[in-house]
Structure 1
Amino acid sequence: MALFNKMLASIGIGTAKVDTRLDSDRYLPGQTVQGKVEIRGGSVEQKIEEIYLTLHTTYIKEQDDKKYTQTAALEKLRLNDPFTIAPGELRTMPFSLVLPNDTPLTYGRTKVWISTGLEIKNAVDPSDEDFIQILPGPIVHAALLALTDLGFKLRQAECEAVSYKLNHHRPFIQEFEFIPVTGPYHGKLDELEISFLSVSEERAEILLEVDRKAKGLAGLFAEAMEMDETMVRAFITKQDIPQMREKLNQIISRYI
């Protein structure tokens, strides 16, 4: 019977189970996720080589005019040295995982989750997934709010593969696409995209793509040649928060 149980465990039947319990499911980038991992032994004794937590998100990559969804690992945490778990035994391991400052916000179709995996020799490795909400920190929140104050409406938020020209440390950036519905840019811009290339408690580097509305034949030609779009890199700081609307307005207005 023991041999039969080992055979079943090797194909994932009666093997150890893992369940991750988070203290919360809402965080800001840079905060620490705390919780515990519960491992329940299966029908046979098994050696757990490694327990690891991985922070994931997805992004869109375009190739040959087709779009593909890719998964990116943002952070990985190893929890243990190898140990043996007895049949039916329950072990609990607390953990703390610091979210990177550039963890994408869970706006639009953007998902962020923590996967927990066990590496078990000669067996199917069990896993668990826990989705979390990522909310904006003070600087990012102020910037997004300032754009709505300027009459823009968020149309889409998505992580997309990044151009090598940006020399970015991730394979993607998160883009927030706004359209002007009221205010000073209504009728002047088709859309405005903002990305946060780096974020800390004190400042953020932003990338703005200003897409001007076509006017006349010259404007239509510029739009066809994609000459109506301007890429702008700038910094915003914690000190800018009280006047963020004015700060972004000064930057955008130079390129219409």
Structure 2
Amino acid sequence: MAFRKFLSALGVNAPSVETVIENPQVGPGGTLRVVVTAVGGGADVDIERVRLEVVVRAEDREYNHKTAWKHPYTVVTADLEGFRLPAGETVTVHGEVVLPWEMPLTHALGAPIAGGRAAVRTELAVDKSVDQGDFDEFEVHALPAQDAILQAYTDLGFRLHEAEVKIGFHPTIAPSMKSRQTEKYWQEIDFFLPEHMTWGNLELETVFTAREDSLDTHPGGYPPATFFYDDLDQQAWTETLKKHVTTYWPSYKK
């Protein structure tokens, strides 16, 4: 829900700003459409810049890694032109932010993912100071291909646990197979192992590297299986994922 916040940089009788996300459910590679409404306060002011920041919850930045959402990480920004805001009047500006294909997910298979959070933070440059005037969460839903892989894991007995965004480049166990990651962060999606599977860890961490036409799925840091969107076939993809998992974890017998 959008809310109006008074710009603290200008003190009493300050202007207020409200941000509304027109399409609060979007997928990686999609475009957020944002409307920013500013209402003038007791005097004319110049809004020098409006910046839209897409931020996510990043485990590296939170002291309480289970619940905190106080120090988000900026994924992408878009700057809108500034404007003159007369006292007591209303000015509305429209903007768009294109999400990267590797955008972390907050929802998959029609439900929220524990630990997945994303928001648009509206930042205004006013009177030579910066004021973060609004903060609005939105949902990032998995691409059909990502949902298909998550469904495949489910069909193979894995249980989705949570997601964590980490800053930097994802390390792979096999040095000969480097990740095709392009963003300076990655999202781990953690699964509880099937009951019949024995392994040193209790969970399997999977990393998606999505592109416009295809998706790499890294299970546990090992080389990825690549899936092309045009070839989406749930049964075939489940079999491919099963073969890939058993290559590295022979204990998977199902």
The TM tier, using the shorter chain, reads: 0.7 to 0.9
Can you list the C-alpha shifts for 1:195-240, whole angstroms capped at 9, x where unaligned? 01x212421122211xxxxxxxxxxxxxxxxxxxx72333122214
Q: Equivalent residue for 2:86? A: 86
Report the CA distance shift for 1:180/1:83 in structure 2 as closer, same or farther (over 3 A). Answer: closer
After superposition, the CA RMSD in angstroms is 2.8
Report the CA distance shift for 1:126/1:178 in structure 2 as closer, same or farther (over 3 A). Answer: closer
Q: Residues of 2 paired with 1:9 and 1:151: CA distance?
A: 51
After TM superposition, give the deviation of residue 192 of structure 1 in Å: 1.8
Can you list the C-alpha shifts for 1:6-58, whole angstroms capped at 9, x where unaligned? xx985422222111112132111112211311011111111111011110012
1:254 aligns with 2:253: no
Residue aligned with 2:183, SS = coil
Q: Structure 1: where are the runs of 5+ without partners?
A: 1-7, 210-229
TM norm structure 1: 0.77
Q: Residues of 2 paired with 1:234 and 1:10: CA distance?
A: 50
Identity %: 25
Q: Equivalent residue for 1:177? A: 190
TM norm structure 2: 0.78
Question: Are 2:102 and 2:183, in contact at CA under 8 Å, matched by a contact in 1?
Answer: no
Can you list the C-alpha shifts for 1:150-190, whole angstroms capped at 9, x where unaligned? 011012211123457567543421111112335xxx23344
Q: Equivalent residue for 1:50? A: 49
Q: Residues of 1 paired with 2:27 and 2:169: CA distance?
A: 26
Q: Equivalent residue for 1:202? A: 213
Give the structure with the higher percent helix.
1
Q: Residues of 1 paired with 2:115 and 2:228: CA distance?
A: 28
Alignment of 1:118-137 (within 5 A): 118-122=124-128, 125-137=131-143
Which of structures 1 and 2 has the bigger CA Rg? 1
Q: Equivalent residue for 2:226? A: 235
Q: Equivalent residue for 1:221? A: none
Amino acid at match of 2:203: E
1:115 aligns with 2:133: no
Question: Are 2:162 and 2:191, in contact at CA under 8 Å, matched by a contact in 1?
Answer: yes
- How many residues align? The count is 223
Q: Residues of 1 paired with 2:87 and 2:33: CA distance?
A: 27
Can you list the C-alpha shifts for 1:99-138, whole angstroms capped at 9, x where unaligned? 2111111121121000111111155625101100111001
Amino acid at match of 1:92: T
| Segments of 4+ moved more than 3 angstroms | 8-11, 65-70, 161-171
Question: Are 1:18 and 1:126, in contact at CA under 8 Å, matched by a contact in 2?
Answer: no
Q: Structure 2: where are the runs of 5+ without partners?
A: 1-6, 107-112, 173-178
